[in-house]
Copies of this chain bind each other. A is one copy, B any other.
Amino acid sequence: MSTATSASARAPKQDRSRATRQRLLEAAVDCLAEVGWSGSTVAVVAERAGVSRGAAQHHFPTREDLFTAAVEHVSVQRRAELDARAAALPASGRGRHEAVVRMLVGLYTSPLFRAALQLWVAVSTDDQLRPRVLELESRIGRETHRTAVTLLGADESRPGVRETVQATLDMARGLGLADVLSDDSERRERIVRQWARILDAQL
């Protein structure tokens, strides 16, 4: 009886802890996207999330822990969303490449990309952050590449196909960067359509 009681007491506590962690991660991404790395501290995020500073530091001992975990958390969520939406796409044909390119480009025109961009740029002047972001970006990069290969139905054993998929993601990243300065959505949509036509011919 006492075992059952303590287990049921533990479960809500774990749920609360998980919810606190999640609130911190989401507040961290918003904070990074809005005020940049130099203004993003654990204290600022804790306040934004409505969590005590002590609780925030219990979950994330350092600033680097919090912000790299935040970018990773949201990346995983966004790729899961993308997989879910991909299930609704046409199975093949011209419309498919265009829809997939639009979805991939969408990964790079979001608050998440703006947050990740702040981390990328901060690494050039922050030695503690650099190894963490490098490791994170290389993992996210590999997974995004795999997602793109699957969604585009690309056969990477054919010469040039791997590089064409990579170029698609580099182009998407460049479009994301262009959108940081001003709303680039009209120009971007024309490029997405043309890129899809190129993939129709290449893949």
Chain A residues close to B by CB (< 8 Å): 33-36, 38-39, 114, 117-118, 120-125, 133-134, 137, 160, 163-164, 166-167, 169-178, 180-182, 187, 190-191, 193-195, 197-198, 201-202
Residue contact A190 to B171, C-beta cutoff 8 Å: no
Residue contact A125 to B171, C-beta cutoff 8 Å: no
Distance in Å: Cβ of A28 to nearest Cβ of chain B = 16
Instruction: Using A123-B180, A171-B171 as known contacts, list a sample of 8 further A-B pairs with CB atoms less than 8 Å apart, ordered by residue number in A.
Output: A39-B125, A114-B124, A120-B177, A160-B194, A166-B190, A167-B194, A171-B174, A174-B174
Distance in Å: Cβ of A148 to nearest Cβ of chain B = 13
Residue contact B181 to A125, C-beta cutoff 8 Å: no
Distance in Å: Cβ of A180 to nearest Cβ of chain B = 6
CB-CB under 8 A from A170, the residues of chain B are 171, 174-175, 178, 191
Residue contact A166 to B191, C-beta cutoff 8 Å: yes
Complex Cα distance, B178 from A36, in Å, reads 19
Complex Cα distance, B118 from A6, in Å, reads 53
Distance in Å: Cβ of A153 to nearest Cβ of chain B = 18
A166 and B187 in contact (CB under 8 A), knowing A114-B124, A173-B174?
yes
CB-CB under 8 A from A166, the residues of chain B are 187, 190-191
Residue contact B177 to A177, C-beta cutoff 8 Å: yes
> Which of A124, A133, A193 has the most chain B CB atoms inside 10 A of its CB?
A124
Complex Cα distance, B121 from A123, in Å, reads 13
Complex Cα distance, B201 from A154, in Å, reads 19
Complex Cα distance, B190 from A114, in Å, reads 27
Closest chain B residue, CB of each to CB of A182:
B134
Residue contact A121 to B125, C-beta cutoff 8 Å: no
Residue contact B163 to A191, C-beta cutoff 8 Å: yes
Distance in Å: Cβ of A202 to nearest Cβ of chain B = 6
